[in-house]
Amino acid sequence: MKDEVKKRIQAVHRFFAGEEPEAICTSLGRSRSWLYKWINRYTEDDDTWCNRLSTQPSMVANRTPVEIEEIVKMVRLNLYNRNLFYGAQAILWELEDLGVIPLPSQRTINRILSRNNLTHRRTGRYEPKGTPYPKLPALLPNQTHQMDMVGPCYLTGPIRFYLDGTLAIWTRLGIPDNLQVDNAMSFLGSPKHPRAISQFIRLCLHYSVEPWFIPMSEPWRNGMVERFNLNWV
């Protein structure tokens, strides 16, 4: 038994034995408020009365409801099993589609994943796959642009809004000689006809822009714009 607990028990027993509070406090080096605190807590049928109570609040005002936390974990597992992106942003989009209320923020989702050890980071030094890829020139303005679409984001109707967005960027910055992009489905003709020329490729060819597709699963080839999107999102 710890010395502090022994002093509490001893002080209370001495008090009920009729000893003066002042004498008890002086001998133990404690205040009268300390003595009466433990006298009030004394319970004959409970041996734990002399233990310190936890100062941790029983309720946390900003704590995410347990139901929401479980939904986040289930959505993350579902995306992982479907071999889809399963980060906080992807989970947030999935929760929006499911109509989950209250909708947690991306920061809250990150905390839930971290609290449940559901984050995976590469350990050790990265070993490149050795896939050959040309180093595009970027010494002069508009020699090479990097492009990465944030999504999936969908609008109702047949309009592919990223085409107008791409043209608006070129109007402001200038038309590049090369455009470096990843292998998104929006660059293909369609899921049924992937070898067809998409509207995006037609737009590039119309303005004499040469598109370059980075290898699959190698986002560092487009590292500058990938990093920008991470900060922007």
Domain-located, residue 120: no
Number of domains in the chain: 3
Residue 152 sits in the same domain as residue 207:
yes
Residue 225 sits in the same domain as residue 148:
yes
- Over residues 142-161, the mean pLDDT reads 70
Give the domain CATH number at 187: 3.30.420.10
CA dihedral (181, 145, 200, 206) in degrees, to 10, reads: -140
Domain-located, residue 138: no
Domain-located, residue 12: yes
Domain-located, residue 49: no
pLDDT value at position 230? 61
pLDDT value at position 155? 59
Range 27-36 burial, b when 16+ CB lie within 10 A, else e = eeebeeeebe
Domain-located, residue 177: yes
- Over residues 190-215, the mean pLDDT reads 83
- Per the structure, the complete domain to which residue 94 belongs is given by 66-115
The residue with greater pLDDT, 22 or 60, is 22
* Ramachandran angles phi, psi of 112, nearest 5°: -65, -45
pLDDT value at position 164? 83
Q: Which of 204, 141, 211, 200 is nearest to 173 (CA)?
A: 141
Residue 195 sits in the same domain as residue 154:
yes
What is the rounded CA–CA span in Å between residue 115 and residue 228?
27
DSSP for 168-200? HHHHHH---SEEEE---GGGBS-SS-TTSBPHH
Q: Please give the model's pTM, rounded to 2 decimal places.
A: 0.42
Residue 93 sits in the same domain as residue 33:
no
Residue 86 sits in the same domain as residue 153:
no
What is the rounded CA–CA span in Å between residue 82 and residue 90?
13
Domain-located, residue 128: no
How is residue 183 written in tokens?
A: 């292998």
Model confidence pLDDT, tens digit, residues 72-122: 999 999 888 887 778 888 899 889 888 888 889 989 999 999 988 888 765
Look at residue 58 and tell me whether its pLDDT is greater than 60. no
Residues 6+ apart with CB under 8 A from 5: 50, 51
Residue 157 sits in the same domain as residue 87:
no
Residue 29 sits in the same domain as residue 81:
no
**Positions of E strands within 106-221:** 144-146, 178-181, 210-213
* Ramachandran angles phi, psi of 94, nearest 5°: -65, -40
* Ramachandran angles phi, psi of 150, nearest 5°: -85, 125
Domain-located, residue 149: yes
Residue 163 sits in the same domain as residue 222:
yes
pLDDT value at position 50? 82
Residue 172 sits in the same domain as residue 219:
yes
Domain-located, residue 53: no
The residue with greater pLDDT, 63 or 122, is 63
pLDDT class of 57 with cuts at 50, 70, 90: low
